[in-house]
Amino acid sequence: MNCEHYRKQLSRQVDIDLDRALTEELEKHLAACPECRSFRDGVKALNREFHTVGRTQPPVGLAERVKERVDRQRRRDRVLLPAWTRVPLVAMITLAAVGLGNLAGRSISSMLIPDRSEDAVEYTLVTQAPSFADLLTDNGSEENGQ
Amino acid sequence: MMRDQGYLSDEILVKEARDGSEAHFNALVDRYIGLVYRVAFSVTGSAHEAEDVVQETFLRVFRNLDGFDPSKAAFKTWLLAIARNQSINVLAHLKRKAARFLTRTQAAEDRDNAEEENFPHEMPDAETTLLSKERTQLVQQALAKLPEKQRTALMLKAVEGLSYAEIAEILHTSASAVESLIYRARSKILEEVEQ
Pair B114, B177 in one domain = no
Among the partner-chain residues A11, A55, A74, the one whose CB lies closest to the CB of B22 is: A74
Phi/psi for A81 (5° steps) reads -70, 145
Facing A54 at nearest CB: one of B51, B159, B187: B159
Torsion of CA B6, B12, B16, B19, to 10 degrees: 160
The residues near A80 (Cβ < 8 Å, ≥ 6 apart) are none
Contact by Cβ (8 Å): B39, B155 = yes
Of B118, B145, B174, the residue at which a domain comes to its end is B118
Q: Which domain holds residue B101?
A: 1-118
Q: B77 and B109: one domain?
A: yes
Best mutation target among B141, B179, B186 (most A Cβ atoms within 10 Å) is: B186
Let me know whether B99 and B136 are in one domain: no
Residues B43, B93, single domain; the answer is yes
Distance CA(B84)–CA(B61), nearest Å, equals 13
Are B89 and B136 found together in one domain?
no
CA–chain centroid gap for B122, Å, is: 27
CB atoms within 10 A of CB A118: 9
Q: Looking at the partner chain, which of B51, B63, B182 has a beta carbon nearest the beta carbon of A62?
A: B51
Given B93, B118, B143, the domain boundary residue is B118
Give tens-digit pLDDT for B83-102: 999 999 998 887 777 655 55
Of B90, B118, B146, the domain-final residue: B118
Whether B47 and A62 lie within 8 Å, measured CB to CB: no
Residue B34: count of CB within 10 angstroms of its CB: 17
Same structural domain for residues B11 and B52?
Answer: yes
Record: contact A53-B62, CB cut-off 8 A: no
B119 pLDDT band (50/70/90 cuts)? very low
Q: Yes or no: say if A18 and B185 are a contact pair by the CB < 8 Å rule.
A: no
Q: What whole-number distance in Å separates Cα of residue B54 and Cα of residue B35?
A: 10
Mean pLDDT of chain B: 85
Polymer length of chain A:
146
When pLDDT is cut at 50, 70 and 90, the band that residue B45 belongs to is confident
Check whether residue B63 and residue B140 sit in a common domain: no
Same domain? B108 vs B147: no
> What is the tens place of the pLDDT at every residue in B142-164?
998 999 999 999 999 998 999 99
DSSP state of B73: S
Residues of B whose CB is below 8 A from A69: 55, 58-59
Instruction: State which amino acid sits at residue A11.
Output: S
The pTM of the full predicted model, rounded to 2 decimals, is 0.69
Q: Quick one: B102 and B131 in the same domain? A: no
The count of domains in chain B is 2
Chain A hits for B186, CB-CB cut-off 8 Å, are 11, 42-43, 46
Q: How far apart are CA B61 and CA B25, in angstroms?
A: 10
pLDDT band at B123 (very low <50, low <70, confident <90, very high): very low
Low-confidence ranges of chain A (pLDDT < 50): 121, 140-146
Residue of B nearest to A5 (CA): B183
Which region, left, alpha or beta, applies to residue B21 given φ > 0 means left and ψ of -120 to 50 means alpha? Answer: beta
d(CA B81, CA B87): 10
Identify whether residues B10 and B66 lie together within a single domain.
yes
B127 and B110 within one domain: no
Q: Are residues B95 and B5 in the same domain?
A: yes
Write the pLDDT tens digit of every residue in A98-109. Answer: 777 666 666 656
Return d(Cα B131, Cα A57) in angstroms, integer.
Answer: 20
